[in-house]
Structure 1
Amino acid sequence: MDIARLKALRELSIRQTMAAVAEALNLTPSAVSQQITQLEEEVGVPLTERRGRGVKLTHAGEVLVSHVERIMGVLDEAGSELALIRKEIAGTLRIAAFATAAAALLPPVLQALRKSYPRLQITIIEMEPSEGLAALGSWNVDLAIVDDLSVRLARMEKTVHKVRLIDDELKVVMAKDHPLALKPSIALSELKDEEWAMDSATSFYGEFVMNLCRQAGFTPQVNAACRGSEIIAAMVASGCSVSIIPGLRLGQISQNLVARPLRPAVTRRISVAFRQGERAHPAIKVFVEQLLHTSQAMTR
């Protein structure tokens, strides 16, 4: 059986539409469909069935995917062992990272690794956590920095390993002359009559904050749906809005703001994920070790 066709079937088990698989594998939907058809001809049983607008795997398809995941894990392990034999940390690592974590954590990591391993090339690709995890499962990246607000490993639990990096506490930000600025902490219910600048680029994060507010008994009135921290900071500093931002982002915004913890505190766990079969890969090991060192230094 052809490895490319097996990978296409595994992607289909996760993404459930030919179009989504095609996007992940940089193919056309018709090419993906042909690969699945050819694979079904090779094995002699139906592997998929239509389910509404999507595609569902048959029992035979699920059985085959479970074997595919083991096969790909073995190939990852083989690549790791060969890298160990070469006794040199070199090549390219592709890192998927969402903007807040990438800006706070990755520059010092890359700076340190560039000095110690000049032949190791690291490429950062900005992706939201769910996108990064999907790219990891598609072998489009080597590691993904994720959080626990928007990512659930689900069926990838057996094939992906996560290492906890840092717990990032969410903060309320407001103008320095805001009436609540003198309080040591703020309950969400105290913000029910405020206007909000909300992060709209990160749909999972924005929805998480919206849900926090709803749980506190109100729906926030949004007067700025923003695609980056610059507009949020400007709206808050001017006194036009309040917002909730990750603690890691505080270093990227204006000093004209006041940040206060929520009461009760709300945190998100940030981790780095990589494929189980590459846990021993030397380049991945040194990257994760440096990332852990940097994360721990930030909490001291």
Structure 2
Amino acid sequence: MIDLRRLHVLRAVAHYGTVTAAARALHFTPSAASQQIRQLARELGVDLLEPQGRGVRLTPAALTLLAHADAIQARWEQAELDLRADHGDPAGPLRVSGFPVAVSVLLAPMAAQLQERHPRLTVRVREAALPESFDLLFEGETDLAVVEATPLNPPLSDARFDQQPLLDDPFDLVVPEGHPLAGRERVDLGDAAHETWIAPVPESPCRLHVMSACGRAGFSPHVVHHALDWNVIAHLVANRLGVALIPRLAHLTPHLPITRVRCTGNPHRSLLTCTRRGARERPAVAAALEELHRLAPTAVA
């Protein structure tokens, strides 16, 4: 009989990449985590880790085992759902997470609506950036996350997570009031090729979206200023320090002397809802997803 607690340690090593990182997430010492995996290997009669440089990597046997482990986790989610099938009204705690804009525009109003509609349901909202939301899902610390689609995300085929489209958030070109491009109904990004640009900091997921949009328009932007927060970027634009691409979901400080101009070619970022595999049909999660899909069309209007 496989000890599922030890199996979870192996899953954590695969998720976090090292025994040390997995141990930290599980509140183990690295030696304790390694011991759990060694005991699991003895139970199964196979090697699960092998040396790679100064670290270790999963063996082919471990990868085979993990495929079954992810399926077991999904079946457990389904089992819990089946056990509660006679209690379909959403109740208890629902933990949701997302990046700042998603929390402000989608998750906060969703939480308010759900708690008004389902008095026995308690929604707990947590701001979390990538890849933290996937870590929280893996650890069972959140039930539903709204994330950006980026190359850094686990692939859609990852058996641990169920990632589904929510909405496309268009980017607008934001220019100072009175700028020559401010009077246009739509603008080709190529017309801003020679402008000074303000862009998200390199570690921001949106940095890639901005650079890719400019690349598709045929130029590499001359980025002079960097910021993390969209309102900081908007203030830099307002002070005539450059132009920027800002997603429409980002609510900017009112009355700034700036103009949003829609772009041809529809540059955008895609937002996804993400749950653990098998958890999407839980009554509380299903109610949250329904409300998010109701809010999504008006959020980017």
TM-score normalised according to structure 1 size: 0.89
- Whether the aligned pair in 2 keeps the contact of 1:170 and 1:247 (CA below 8 Å) is yes
- 1:21 to 2:22 alignment: yes
Equivalences for 1:119-198 in 2 at 5 Å?
119-150=120-151, 152-154=153-155, 157-198=158-199
- Whether the aligned pair in 2 keeps the contact of 1:200 and 1:225 (CA below 8 Å) is yes
Which residue of structure 2 aligns with residue 71 of structure 1? 72
CA distance in 2, matches of 1:70, 1:272: 20
- Whether the aligned pair in 2 keeps the contact of 1:192 and 1:220 (CA below 8 Å) is yes
- 1:102 to 2:103 alignment: yes
What do the CA deviations read for 1:138-183 (whole angstroms, capped 9, x no partner)?
3232111122234544275334223322211111111111121112
CA distance in 2, matches of 1:88, 1:265: 40
- 1:82 to 2:76 alignment: no
Moved more, 200-209 or 225-234: 200-209
CA distance in 1, matches of 2:18, 2:62: 15
Which residue of structure 2 aligns with residue 253 of structure 1? 253
CA distance in 1, matches of 2:183, 2:164: 37
Which residue of structure 2 aligns with residue 285 of structure 1? 286
- Alignment CA distance shift 1:221-1:155 (3 Å): closer
The structure richer in helix per residue is 1
Q: Which amino acid aligns with 1:254?
A: P
Which residue of structure 1 aligns with residue 63 of structure 2? 62
Which residue of structure 2 aligns with residue 223 of structure 1? 224
TM-score normalised according to structure 2 size: 0.89
What do the CA deviations read for 1:175-211 (whole angstroms, capped 9, x no partner)?
1111211122233332233222222285221133234
Deviation at 1:112, TM superposition (A): 0.8
CA distance in 2, matches of 1:160, 1:15: 15
- Whether the aligned pair in 2 keeps the contact of 1:129 and 1:150 (CA below 8 Å) is no
- Alignment CA distance shift 1:24-1:213 (3 Å): farther
Structure 1 portions without partners, runs of 5+: none
What do the CA deviations read for 1:239-285 (whole angstroms, capped 9, x no partner)?
11211111111x33334321112232212221211123223211111
CA distance in 2, matches of 1:219, 1:22: 42
Deviation at 1:56, TM superposition (A): 2.1
What do the CA deviations read for 1:71-111 (whole angstroms, capped 9, x no partner)?
11121112222333345522222212011121111222111
Deviation at 1:65, TM superposition (A): 0.7
Secondary structure of 1:154's counterpart equals coil
Which residue of structure 1 aligns with residue 43 of structure 2? 42
Moved more, 253-262 or 101-110: 253-262
Equivalences for 1:107-122 in 2 at 5 Å?
107-122=108-123
What do the CA deviations read for 1:47-89 (whole angstroms, capped 9, x no partner)?
1112235532111101111111121112111222233334552
- Whether the aligned pair in 2 keeps the contact of 1:97 and 1:145 (CA below 8 Å) is yes
- Alignment CA distance shift 1:154-1:33 (3 Å): same
What do the CA deviations read for 1:14-65 (whole angstroms, capped 9, x no partner)?
3321233234434343332222222212222111112235532111101111
Structure 2 portions without partners, runs of 5+: none
* % identity of equivalent residues: 31
- Whether the aligned pair in 2 keeps the contact of 1:150 and 1:205 (CA below 8 Å) is no
CA distance in 1, matches of 2:249, 2:28: 37
Deviation at 1:131, TM superposition (A): 2.9
Which residue of structure 2 aligns with residue 262 of structure 1? 263
